[in-house]
Amino acid sequence: MKALKAIAWENGKLSLLNQTLLPVQKQTVTCHTYDEVAEAIKTMVVRGAPAIGVTAAYGLVLAARSCAHENRPMMNTLLQRAKSVLRQTRPTAVNLFWALDRMEKIWLDNPDSPVSELKKMLEAEAIAIDEEDLARNKSIGRHGSELIPAGANILTHCNAGALATAGYGTALGVIRAAHADNKKIHVYADETRPLLQGARLTAWELLEDNIPVTLITDSMAGYLMGQKKIDLIIVGADRIAANGDVANKIGTYSVAVLADYHRIPFYVAAPLSTFDLSIATGNEIPIEQRQHEEIRKINGVTVAPENVKVYNPAFDVTPALLITAIITDHGILKPPYAQCISALAGLNQCYTEKKGCTP
């Protein structure tokens, strides 16, 4: 079976699988400009922390390619403008800022390179970010599979799969690896209201790979835990603070509290690009607030009074003390997290300099 790829860069063209339409329609959107890339991230044509980072990196390549003159100052201004537009798309996933900062390093470190040369360097860097993410996810999968007992029933929330990354996935990477290791696992996917990433994306992605999956509504998770139907939980992350607090899709915190009450292991899977060493705790993570229509409607169908007040935070923060382990591409981190996370800093150049990561 061909590996699922949400982001494709081919011959200078960026194609994104439109995740707002899945699983009903399988359509791709082609982006020609960085503005189109920004719009695709904002409207969640592409979503998931690592996928947003990879896409934004290609957005800067498109910006560079649009510079028609051999004029470095002009090119630098254009790239800074594009970077600032891309930074303002979604605030929570740190991978976006990480990837943009990594791309910026190329033009800042090479002030004398001609425009034509810089274009090639930026493209090579975006491809490296893309390919590295895939490799990191496979490594997360290898490490994480060791934690999965044979026959495990695994609960996951949102979509931290191939669709949310350069491929293979983080939480679903662990699930894919355990399945490949013939552990005969079974997955429960939370539907993940309001945008149903669990129902629309995780369920679809796992079925495509013949991994046994059962869909539940978010409100059923506690009941299933009480019935001893869940052996462990694995989720992805949008940003991990220096103390191990984790921002992830809204509803993750509730699942972690339920897991703690029922004494069920709660694992987070994430690559190094998701760690933000510039912030001490999860309290500093900016939480995206989204449109009210996402709650009043499901797939465009009104399900609430049109004038009802709505609150729609897209993410929540799970405190480190509720997390059994964090599965990274560099191995499994166990509590207390502060020390092992700071040891990772040396491997993640962007954040050793304690750069700010908010838009």
Residue 350 as a binder of ligand MRU (CB under 6 A): the answer is: no
DSSP 8-state symbol, 152: -
As a whole number of angstroms, the distance between CA 192 and CA 170 comes to 17
As a whole number of angstroms, the distance between CA 139 and CA 71 comes to 41
Looking at the DSSP bridge assignments, the partners of residue 31 are 14
Q: Which residues contact 129 (CB under 8 A, 6 or more apart)?
A: 53, 54, 57, 99, 102, 103
Task: Give the CA angle between residues 89, 41, 29 to the nearest 5°.
Answer: 150
As a whole number of angstroms, the distance between CA 282 and CA 292 comes to 24
Residue 327 as a binder of ligand MRU (CB under 6 A): the answer is: no
Among the listed ranges 9-17, 230-238, 330-338, 340-348, the one in contact with ligand MRU (CB under 6 A) is 230-238
Shortest distance in whole angstroms from residue 48 CB to ligand MRU: 4
CA distances from 321 to 222, 260, 275 (A): 19, 9, 17
> With respect to ligand MRU, which residue has the nearer C-beta, 123 or 133?
133
> With respect to ligand MRU, which residue has the nearer C-beta, 49 or 106?
49
Binder to ligand MRU among 37, 158, 221, 285 (CB under 6 A)?
158
DSSP 8-state symbol, 313: B
Residue 93 as a binder of ligand MRU (CB under 6 A): the answer is: yes
Q: Give the type of residue at 32.
A: H
> With respect to ligand MRU, which residue has the nearer C-beta, 123 or 205?
205
Residue 164 as a binder of ligand MRU (CB under 6 A): the answer is: yes
Shortest distance in whole angstroms from residue 94 CB to ligand MRU: 10
Phi then psi dihedrals of residue 184, to 5 deg: 55, 50
Residue 167 as a binder of ligand MRU (CB under 6 A): the answer is: no
Shortest distance in whole angstroms from residue 199 CB to ligand MRU: 12
For helices 171-180 and 115-145, angle between their N-to-C axes, nearest 10 degrees? 60
Residue 59 as a binder of ligand MRU (CB under 6 A): the answer is: no
Binding mask 18-47 for ligand MRU (x = CB under 6 A): -----------------------------x
Shortest distance in whole angstroms from residue 170 CB to ligand MRU: 4
Residue 272 as a binder of ligand MRU (CB under 6 A): the answer is: no
3-class secondary structure, 262: coil
As a whole number of angstroms, the distance between CA 85 and CA 255 comes to 34
Shortest distance in whole angstroms from residue 161 CB to ligand MRU: 7
- How big is the chain by its Cα radius of gyration, in Å? 20
Residue 174 as a binder of ligand MRU (CB under 6 A): the answer is: no
Residue 202 as a binder of ligand MRU (CB under 6 A): the answer is: no
By CB atoms closer than 10 A (0-12, 13-18, 19+), residue 229 is: middle
Residue 348 as a binder of ligand MRU (CB under 6 A): the answer is: no
- What residue number has its CB nearest to ligand MRU? 236
Residue 357 as a binder of ligand MRU (CB under 6 A): the answer is: no
Shortest distance in whole angstroms from residue 166 CB to ligand MRU: 10
Shortest distance in whole angstroms from residue 309 CB to ligand MRU: 22
Residue 136 as a binder of ligand MRU (CB under 6 A): the answer is: no
Residue 145 as a binder of ligand MRU (CB under 6 A): the answer is: no
- Residues with a catalytic annotation lie at 238
Residue corresponding to tokens 């900016």:
286
Question: Could you tell me where the DSSP H helices lie in 110-214?
Answer: 115-145, 171-180, 197, 203-208
* Chain residues in the site for ligand MRU (CB under 6 A): 47-50, 93, 158, 160, 164-165, 170, 197, 236-238, 248-249, 314
